Chain A
Amino acid sequence: PPAPQRVLFPPTFSVSEIKNKQRRHFMFLRWKQQQRKEKLAAKKKRRKEREALGDKAPPKAIPKTIENQRVYDETTVNPNDEEVAFDEATDEFAPYFNRQTVPKILITTSDRPRGRTVRFCEQLATVIPNSHVYYRRGLALKRIIPQCIARDFTDLIVINEDRKIPNGLVLSHLPDGPTAHFRMSSVRLRKEIKRKGKEPTEHVPEVILNNFTTRLGHSVGRMFASLFPHDPQFIGRQVATFHNQRDYIFFRFHRYIFKSEKKVGIQELGPRFTLKLRSLQKGTFDSKFGEYEWIHKRREMDTSRRKFHL
């Protein structure tokens, strides 16, 4: 039955009091329509007023987003900060950024990896150039590390697995560099990605690091950058992206093509996963005696919804 224009109700009536479900549903829809109409009318009126005022109209209100409302972090890096620049020139990644070392990565897992983890490791090895996958076979990390250093590896990635899915990542820069421990979630292998392209080729990809603003974020970003060789091969048209949003780092691997100078198309190939930083340790992997630069403490750091650390 079509909605009548004027509806008379007793003043203390509310839609939720009708017992009959069908009728209640119908009345609710009608109420919703009415609300929508009123809202539209209000919007139109406001727009007219704004146009009428012309230049004198008050500026448009910016909607509040979490990124807008983010609590200001005092460790945010100013791009022109000299102290930060000096620090970065002398920290553990300086040899990489001065192009003295070529990254060589060792990827391994925890004990007894299941199929999914193994396949993920292989795909990760195709994404990161100059990387090798080795099985763990029950070796202690503390004993692997000196061997790796002896064989000139610059980085070590350990993918931790739980119940047949990878759920943690330990990234350690080898000649006693910082160790970052991440929680890994929503891992998608290549075959699970829709509309993907062919396999990643052997070209060195470009690296995009987005939104790493604070000091901590900066150091983590440099860690990621040091995984890839410094000179990307633009012929390959591949790009690896680490995008930080609200403390979640999203990793994607795309192939791009420029259709014109204002339009680019990207096609996803390669695995994707998200990381959340759990702890950053100064030396190489040592859970007991290491010196932690940053640990995620849930009780203290998760209190505010607008505060992010990376």
Chain B
Amino acid sequence: SPQVVWSMLGNRQFCSYKMTTKTQNFCRNEYNLTGLCNRSSCPLANSQYATVREEKGRCYLYMKTIERAAFPRRLWERVLLNKNYEKALEQIDENLIYWPRFIRHKCKQRFTKITQYLIRIRKLTLKRQRKLVPLRRKIERRERRREEKALVAAQLDNAIEKELLERLKQDTYGDIYNFPIHAFDKALQQQGAESESESDAEREEEDDEDVDKREFVEAEDSDLSDFEDMDKLDTSSEEEQEEEEEVEKEVSHSKSKGKTPLKGPARRKRPYIEIEYEEETEPTTKTKAA
């Protein structure tokens, strides 16, 4: 009898469907109506029981009666519910007429919940689905390694610099940069001795232009002597420097290629050097107390 079953399974002995948590007991039985482990919701401890379950989007009403308790195969009677929500509720009512109120009520509640989540599923499948693609670990590792090696082989900085210099040579930048000395050498070789004087004159003109424009001239490594003047005469010392440079035609590079950070546009001033002043304080003389 159901009372005996409940006194065994519910409280004292072991029920394999029962799951206990800190606050509640759950029932894992698939025919359970509420999902909790109660005297009134245990499908094993009630000889007259009903549930609503859904399969592949269709809802069924399952019923269990005392008459069929001896035939486990025919124990649960299944009724397909109507797709229409109200009609299905009427169906539940007419099938569970004269059944306890609790079971009827819970059946309808469960049916409502099920239809709601079925609607949600249908709506979500219409929207974009996120497709999860499993990564293959070996392949991921392989790709990463190959990428690193390709990066090393690429030598990006060198490639970019080479490309930029190529473009400079091919005159894509036009007149912005003022050192076509390379082109001049080529012109020299091509035209020969006669035009050398002409190119010399041009070169002198170039020098004059450079004096006025003062663009992209290297900053020399400054000596101390320059420093003494630097604070007093700022622009005039620069002028002197540049003229010196042009006369000597030496270009000294104060920075290595792209390793130290350039600060925005060309630094025409000398590299910034901090001047620290040390002051020695004489130790206070101790006077003996007489």
Contacts and interface: CB of A to CB of B under 8 A. Distances in A.
A237 B251 CA distance: 22
Interface stretch (B63-71, B149-157, B238-246, B279-287): B149-157
Nearest to A263: B257
Interface stretch (A97-105, A125-133, A243-251): A243-251
B165 A243 contact: no
Contacts of B288: none
Contacts of A260: 179, 218, 251, 253
Contacts of A264: 161, 164-165, 168, 258
Interface string A266-310: 110000001010000000000000000000001000000000000
A95 interface: no
A254 B161 CA distance: 10
B173 A248 contact: no
Contacts of B28: none
Given A254-B160, A263-B253, A264-B161, A140 B258 contact: no
Given A234-B173, A246-B146, A267 B163 contact: no
Interface size class of A (residues with CB under 8 A): 35 or more
A250 B168 contact: no
Contact of A66 (B153, B165, B177, B181): B153
Contacts of B143: 185, 276
Contacts of B144: 185
A235 B265 CA distance: 10
Given A66-B153, A276-B143, A259 B261 contact: no
A298 to B, nearest CB: 7
Contacts of B177: 258, 261
Given A265-B262, A298-B139, A67 B153 contact: yes
Interface size class of B (residues with CB under 8 A): 35 or more
Nearest to B136: A298
A259 B150 contact: no
A243 B161 CA distance: 13
A247 B154 CA distance: 11
Nearest to A258: B177
Interface in A145-170: none
A8 B62 CA distance: 91
Interface string A102-126: 0000000001000000000000000
B147 A185 contact: yes
Contacts of B257: 263, 265
A128 B127 CA distance: 32
Contacts of A27: none
B181 A261 contact: yes
A100 B154 CA distance: 34
- If over half of A's interface residues share one DSSP class (helix, strand or loop), that class is named, otherwise mixed; here it is strand
A245 B264 contact: no
Interface string B253-272: 10101100111111000000
A245 B168 contact: no
A266 B258 contact: yes
A208 interface: yes
Given A266-B161, A267-B258, A298-B139, A197 B264 contact: yes
B164 to A, nearest CB: 5
Interface string A65-106: 111000000000000000000000000000000000000000
B180 interface: yes
Given A261-B168, A261-B182, A195 B159 contact: no
Nearest to A195: B261
A72 B151 CA distance: 22
A65 to B, nearest CB: 7
Given A250-B154, A259-B218, A266-B157, A197 B179 contact: no
A267 B253 contact: no
Q: Which of B146, B153, B157, B160 is the most central at the interface, judged by chain A CB atoms within 10 Å of its CB?
A: B160
A267 B266 contact: no
B247 interface: no
B151 A250 contact: yes
A241 interface: yes
A88 B173 CA distance: 26
A304 to B, nearest CB: 13
B128 interface: yes
Contacts of A198: 264
Given A197-B262, A265-B255, 12 more contacts: A138-B128, A206-B167, A208-B164, A239-B160, A243-B154, A243-B156, A245-B150, A245-B154, A246-B149, A257-B216, A257-B265, A259-B255
23 contacts: A206-B167, A208-B163, A234-B173, A234-B174, A235-B176, A241-B163, A243-B154, A246-B149, A250-B150, A256-B160, A256-B161, A256-B164, A258-B164, A260-B218, A260-B253, A261-B165, A262-B182, A263-B253, A264-B161, A265-B255, A266-B160, A267-B258, A298-B139
Interface of A: 65-67, 111, 138, 140, 185-186, 195-198, 206, 208, 210, 234-235, 239, 241, 243, 245-248, 250, 252, 254-267, 274, 276, 298
